[in-house]
Protein backbone atom coordinates (compact mmCIF):
# COMPACT_ATOMS: atom_id res chain seq x y z
CA UNK A 1 0.00 0.00 0.00
CA UNK A 2 1.32 3.46 -0.88
CA UNK A 3 2.05 5.80 2.05
CA UNK A 4 -0.74 8.33 2.63
CA UNK A 5 -0.27 12.04 1.88
CA UNK A 6 1.12 13.80 4.94
CA UNK A 7 -2.09 15.68 5.71
CA UNK A 8 -4.35 12.60 5.57
CA UNK A 9 -6.16 11.61 8.75
CA UNK A 10 -9.50 9.97 9.48
CA UNK A 11 -12.50 12.34 9.47
CA UNK A 12 -13.52 12.90 13.10
CA UNK A 13 -16.96 11.78 14.26
CA UNK A 14 -19.50 14.60 14.72
CA UNK A 15 -22.32 13.08 16.82
CA UNK A 16 -24.12 16.46 17.09
CA UNK A 17 -24.43 16.72 13.31
CA UNK A 18 -28.03 17.31 12.13
CA UNK A 19 -27.27 15.44 8.90
CA UNK A 20 -28.59 11.97 8.04
CA UNK A 21 -27.79 9.74 5.08
CA UNK A 22 -29.67 7.08 3.11
CA UNK A 23 -28.44 4.94 0.22
CA UNK A 24 -30.97 4.24 -2.56
CA UNK A 25 -30.73 1.97 -5.61
CA UNK A 26 -31.85 3.89 -8.71
CA UNK A 27 -31.47 1.34 -11.48
CA UNK A 28 -29.46 -1.76 -12.26
CA UNK A 29 -27.03 -2.91 -14.94
CA UNK A 30 -26.87 -6.68 -15.51
CA UNK A 31 -23.29 -7.94 -15.65
CA UNK A 32 -21.10 -10.80 -14.44
CA UNK A 33 -18.77 -10.95 -11.48
CA UNK A 34 -15.79 -11.88 -13.64
CA UNK A 35 -16.32 -8.75 -15.77
CA UNK A 36 -16.59 -6.46 -12.74
CA UNK A 37 -13.83 -7.76 -10.47
CA UNK A 38 -10.68 -9.90 -10.52
CA UNK A 39 -11.25 -11.54 -7.14
CA UNK A 40 -12.06 -14.89 -8.78
CA UNK A 41 -15.82 -14.68 -8.22
CA UNK A 42 -17.87 -15.79 -11.23
CA UNK A 43 -21.52 -15.75 -12.29
CA UNK A 44 -24.34 -13.29 -12.91
CA UNK A 45 -24.25 -9.96 -11.09
CA UNK A 46 -26.73 -7.07 -11.02
CA UNK A 47 -24.82 -3.85 -10.47
CA UNK A 48 -27.04 -1.29 -8.73
CA UNK A 49 -26.67 2.42 -9.49
CA UNK A 50 -26.50 3.74 -5.94
CA UNK A 51 -27.56 7.25 -4.97
CA UNK A 52 -26.64 9.01 -1.74
CA UNK A 53 -29.60 10.89 -0.21
CA UNK A 54 -28.25 13.44 2.28
CA UNK A 55 -30.71 15.25 4.54
CA UNK A 56 -29.18 18.58 5.60
CA UNK A 57 -31.06 21.40 7.40
CA UNK A 58 -30.38 23.67 4.40
CA UNK A 59 -31.87 21.15 1.94
CA UNK A 60 -31.57 17.69 0.47
CA UNK A 61 -28.43 16.83 -1.48
CA UNK A 62 -28.22 13.91 -3.88
CA UNK A 63 -24.95 12.20 -4.75
CA UNK A 64 -25.58 10.90 -8.30
CA UNK A 65 -29.00 10.19 -9.80
CA UNK A 66 -28.91 6.66 -11.23
CA UNK A 67 -30.86 5.45 -14.24
CA UNK A 68 -33.98 7.37 -15.22
CA UNK A 69 -37.16 7.16 -17.27
CA UNK A 70 -35.38 8.11 -20.52
CA UNK A 71 -33.93 4.59 -20.38
CA UNK A 72 -37.39 3.01 -20.19
CA UNK A 73 -38.45 5.16 -23.15
CA UNK A 74 -35.42 3.97 -25.11
CA UNK A 75 -34.01 7.50 -25.62
CA UNK A 76 -30.70 6.89 -23.85
CA UNK A 77 -27.95 5.80 -23.63
CA UNK A 78 -28.26 5.12 -27.38
CA UNK A 79 -26.03 3.11 -29.65
CA UNK A 80 -23.43 1.67 -29.01
CA UNK A 81 -23.83 1.91 -25.23
CA UNK A 82 -27.34 0.46 -25.36
CA UNK A 83 -25.97 -2.62 -27.11
CA UNK A 84 -23.06 -2.99 -24.68
CA UNK A 85 -25.02 -2.78 -21.48
CA UNK A 86 -28.70 -2.91 -20.75
CA UNK A 87 -29.59 -0.50 -17.98
CA UNK A 88 -32.86 -1.13 -16.13
CA UNK A 89 -34.97 1.11 -13.93
CA UNK A 90 -35.22 0.09 -10.27
CA UNK A 91 -38.56 -1.49 -9.21
CA UNK A 92 -39.11 1.62 -7.05
CA UNK A 93 -38.70 3.80 -10.16
CA UNK A 94 -36.35 6.63 -10.98
CA UNK A 95 -34.69 8.68 -8.25
CA UNK A 96 -37.39 11.36 -8.72
CA UNK A 97 -40.01 8.80 -7.62
CA UNK A 98 -37.94 7.74 -4.61
CA UNK A 99 -36.93 11.03 -2.96
CA UNK A 100 -39.30 12.66 -0.45
CA UNK A 101 -38.68 16.22 -1.70
CA UNK A 102 -36.95 17.87 -4.66
CA UNK A 103 -33.21 18.12 -3.99
CA UNK A 104 -31.61 21.50 -3.43
CA UNK A 105 -28.39 20.27 -5.03
CA UNK A 106 -27.18 17.27 -7.02
CA UNK A 107 -23.48 16.38 -6.93
CA UNK A 108 -22.40 14.04 -9.74
CA UNK A 109 -19.42 11.82 -8.93
CA UNK A 110 -18.80 11.68 -12.68
CA UNK A 111 -20.66 11.98 -15.96
CA UNK A 112 -21.21 8.39 -17.00
CA UNK A 113 -24.75 7.60 -18.10
CA UNK A 114 -25.69 5.34 -15.19
CA UNK A 115 -24.98 8.21 -12.76
CA UNK A 116 -26.65 11.13 -14.56
CA UNK A 117 -29.72 9.83 -16.39
CA UNK A 118 -32.05 10.31 -13.39
CA UNK A 119 -31.44 14.07 -13.66
CA UNK A 120 -33.91 14.28 -16.54
CA UNK A 121 -36.74 13.22 -14.19
CA UNK A 122 -35.96 15.68 -11.37
CA UNK A 123 -37.46 19.17 -11.11
CA UNK A 124 -35.03 21.97 -11.99
CA UNK A 125 -32.21 22.21 -9.47
CA UNK A 126 -28.50 23.02 -9.21
CA UNK A 127 -26.06 20.38 -10.45
CA UNK A 128 -22.38 20.25 -9.56
CA UNK A 129 -19.62 18.24 -11.18
CA UNK A 130 -15.90 18.68 -11.76
CA UNK A 131 -15.50 20.90 -14.83
CA UNK A 132 -13.08 18.37 -16.37
CA UNK A 133 -15.98 15.91 -16.68
CA UNK A 134 -18.24 18.61 -18.14
CA UNK A 135 -15.53 19.29 -20.74
CA UNK A 136 -15.12 15.58 -21.47
CA UNK A 137 -18.79 14.51 -21.46
CA UNK A 138 -20.77 17.75 -21.81
CA UNK A 139 -22.85 18.81 -24.82
CA UNK A 140 -21.74 17.03 -27.97
CA UNK A 141 -20.26 13.94 -26.33
CA UNK A 142 -22.09 10.63 -26.95
CA UNK A 143 -23.95 8.68 -24.30
CA UNK A 144 -24.76 11.49 -21.87
CA UNK A 145 -27.85 13.71 -22.38
CA UNK A 146 -25.79 16.76 -21.42
CA UNK A 147 -27.69 19.31 -23.49
CA UNK A 148 -31.02 18.26 -22.00
CA UNK A 149 -29.46 18.34 -18.53
CA UNK A 150 -28.18 21.88 -19.14
CA UNK A 151 -31.57 22.99 -20.53
CA UNK A 152 -33.36 21.72 -17.42
CA UNK A 153 -30.94 22.42 -14.58
CA UNK A 154 -28.46 25.04 -13.40
CA UNK A 155 -25.20 23.27 -14.25
CA UNK A 156 -22.30 24.62 -12.18
CA UNK A 157 -18.97 22.95 -13.06
CA UNK A 158 -16.43 23.11 -10.19
CA UNK A 159 -12.81 24.14 -10.66
CA UNK A 160 -10.93 21.55 -8.61
CA UNK A 161 -7.80 21.51 -10.80
CA UNK A 162 -6.47 25.09 -10.64
CA UNK A 163 -4.07 25.28 -7.67
CA UNK A 164 -5.39 27.58 -4.94
CA UNK A 165 -8.96 27.91 -6.28
CA UNK A 166 -10.62 25.11 -4.30
CA UNK A 167 -9.99 24.44 -0.62
CA UNK A 168 -8.44 21.23 0.67
CA UNK A 169 -9.77 18.36 2.74
CA UNK A 170 -8.33 14.90 3.42
CA UNK A 171 -5.32 15.82 1.30
CA UNK A 172 -7.41 16.59 -1.79
CA UNK A 173 -8.74 19.70 -3.56
CA UNK A 174 -12.19 20.12 -2.04
CA UNK A 175 -15.33 22.27 -1.86
CA UNK A 176 -17.38 22.59 1.33
CA UNK A 177 -20.99 22.54 0.07
CA UNK A 178 -22.75 24.57 2.81
CA UNK A 179 -19.67 26.06 4.51
CA UNK A 180 -20.27 24.05 7.69
CA UNK A 181 -18.07 21.02 7.04
CA UNK A 182 -21.07 18.69 6.77
CA UNK A 183 -20.77 17.83 3.06
CA UNK A 184 -17.48 18.07 1.16
CA UNK A 185 -16.80 17.38 -2.53
CA UNK A 186 -13.28 15.95 -3.01
CA UNK A 187 -11.33 15.58 -6.24
CA UNK A 188 -10.53 11.91 -6.93
CA UNK A 189 -9.82 11.77 -10.68
CA UNK A 190 -8.85 8.75 -12.74
CA UNK A 191 -11.99 6.75 -13.54
CA UNK A 192 -12.93 9.88 -15.48
CA UNK A 193 -10.92 13.13 -15.79
CA UNK A 194 -13.09 14.85 -13.17
CA UNK A 195 -14.32 12.08 -10.86
CA UNK A 196 -15.14 13.27 -7.35
CA UNK A 197 -15.95 11.68 -4.00
CA UNK A 198 -18.32 13.13 -1.40
CA UNK A 199 -17.64 13.11 2.35
CA UNK A 200 -20.66 13.52 4.61
CA UNK A 201 -20.35 14.15 8.35
CA UNK A 202 -23.60 12.63 9.59
CA UNK A 203 -24.97 12.02 13.08
CA UNK A 204 -24.20 8.31 12.75
CA UNK A 205 -20.60 8.91 11.62
CA UNK A 206 -18.74 9.92 8.47
CA UNK A 207 -19.70 8.59 5.03
CA UNK A 208 -17.63 8.61 1.85
CA UNK A 209 -19.32 8.19 -1.53
CA UNK A 210 -16.55 7.24 -3.95
CA UNK A 211 -18.44 6.94 -7.23
CA UNK A 212 -16.69 4.46 -9.53
CA UNK A 213 -13.19 4.79 -8.03
CA UNK A 214 -14.12 1.25 -7.04
CA UNK A 215 -17.35 -0.46 -8.06
CA UNK A 216 -17.51 -3.02 -5.26
CA UNK A 217 -16.77 -3.18 -1.53
CA UNK A 218 -14.40 -6.15 -2.01
CA UNK A 219 -12.21 -3.88 -4.16
CA UNK A 220 -11.48 -1.69 -1.13
CA UNK A 221 -9.50 -4.68 0.19
CA UNK A 222 -7.33 -5.50 -2.83
CA UNK A 223 -9.37 -6.76 -5.78
CA UNK A 224 -9.89 -4.41 -8.72
CA UNK A 225 -11.66 -4.20 -12.03
CA UNK A 226 -10.15 -6.75 -14.46
CA UNK A 227 -7.56 -5.18 -16.77
CA UNK A 228 -9.74 -5.45 -19.89
CA UNK A 229 -12.62 -3.73 -18.10
CA UNK A 230 -10.25 -1.03 -16.85
CA UNK A 231 -9.02 -0.48 -20.39
CA UNK A 232 -12.60 0.18 -21.52
CA UNK A 233 -14.02 2.21 -18.61
CA UNK A 234 -11.17 4.09 -16.89
CA UNK A 235 -9.70 7.27 -18.41
CA UNK A 236 -6.36 7.78 -16.62
CA UNK A 237 -4.70 4.73 -15.01
CA UNK A 238 -2.02 6.71 -13.11
CA UNK A 239 -4.50 9.18 -11.61
CA UNK A 240 -6.87 6.32 -10.81
CA UNK A 241 -4.11 4.41 -8.96
CA UNK A 242 -3.48 7.46 -6.77
CA UNK A 243 -7.20 7.96 -6.07
CA UNK A 244 -7.62 4.25 -5.34
CA UNK A 245 -4.64 4.26 -2.93
CA UNK A 246 -6.14 7.27 -1.12
CA UNK A 247 -9.53 5.53 -0.90
CA UNK A 248 -8.01 2.29 0.37
CA UNK A 249 -5.98 4.14 2.99
CA UNK A 250 -9.15 5.73 4.39
CA UNK A 251 -11.18 2.51 4.17
CA UNK A 252 -8.40 0.56 5.89
CA UNK A 253 -7.52 3.05 8.63
CA UNK A 254 -10.85 4.63 9.54
CA UNK A 255 -13.14 2.00 11.12
CA UNK A 256 -16.03 4.47 11.60
CA UNK A 257 -16.02 5.59 7.95
CA UNK A 258 -18.69 4.05 5.73
CA UNK A 259 -17.25 3.89 2.22
CA UNK A 260 -19.88 3.46 -0.52
CA UNK A 261 -18.69 2.24 -3.94
CA UNK A 262 -21.36 3.25 -6.45
CA UNK A 263 -22.23 -0.28 -7.60
CA UNK A 264 -21.92 -2.46 -4.48
CA UNK A 265 -24.92 -4.87 -4.52
CA UNK A 266 -25.14 -5.18 -0.74
CA UNK A 267 -26.02 -1.48 -0.41
CA UNK A 268 -29.04 -2.11 -2.66
CA UNK A 269 -30.30 -4.64 -0.11
CA UNK A 270 -29.75 -2.32 2.89
CA UNK A 271 -26.52 -1.55 4.72
CA UNK A 272 -23.82 -4.23 4.38
ZN1 LIG B 1 -20.93 3.69 -12.76
pLDDT, mean of residues 150-178: 95
Distance 6 CA to ligand 1 centre (A): 30
Residue 2 has pLDDT above 60, yes or no: no
Distance 45 CA to ligand 1 centre (A): 14
Distance 233 CA to ligand 1 centre (A): 9
pLDDT, mean of residues 71-84: 73
Residues with CB under 5 A from ligand 1 (ion): 114, 212
Residue 97 has pLDDT above 80, yes or no: yes
- Per-residue confidence (pLDDT) for residue 131, from 0 to 100: 98
Distance 85 CA to ligand 1 centre (A): 12
Distance 50 CA to ligand 1 centre (A): 9
- Per-residue confidence (pLDDT) for residue 85, from 0 to 100: 73
- Per-residue confidence (pLDDT) for residue 81, from 0 to 100: 66
Distance 211 CA to ligand 1 centre (A): 7
- Per-residue confidence (pLDDT) for residue 272, from 0 to 100: 64
Residue 135 has pLDDT above 70, yes or no: yes
Q: What is the mean pLDDT of the chain?
A: 92
- Per-residue confidence (pLDDT) for residue 126, from 0 to 100: 98
Q: 216 and 238 in contact (C-beta within 8 Å)?
A: no
Distance 49 CA to ligand 1 centre (A): 7
Distance 118 CA to ligand 1 centre (A): 13
- Per-residue confidence (pLDDT) for residue 9, from 0 to 100: 86
- Per-residue confidence (pLDDT) for residue 17, from 0 to 100: 94
Q: Domain 20-267 belongs to what topology?
A: Metallo-beta-lactamase; Chain A (3.60.15)
Amino acid sequence: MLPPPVDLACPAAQPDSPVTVEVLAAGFVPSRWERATNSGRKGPLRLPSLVGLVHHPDGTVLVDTGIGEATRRGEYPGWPLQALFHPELAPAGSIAAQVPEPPRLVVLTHLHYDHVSGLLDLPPTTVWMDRRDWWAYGPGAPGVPARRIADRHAVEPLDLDTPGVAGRALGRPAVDVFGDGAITVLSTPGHTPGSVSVLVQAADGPWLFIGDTFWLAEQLDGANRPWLTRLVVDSDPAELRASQAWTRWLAGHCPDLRVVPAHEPRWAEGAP
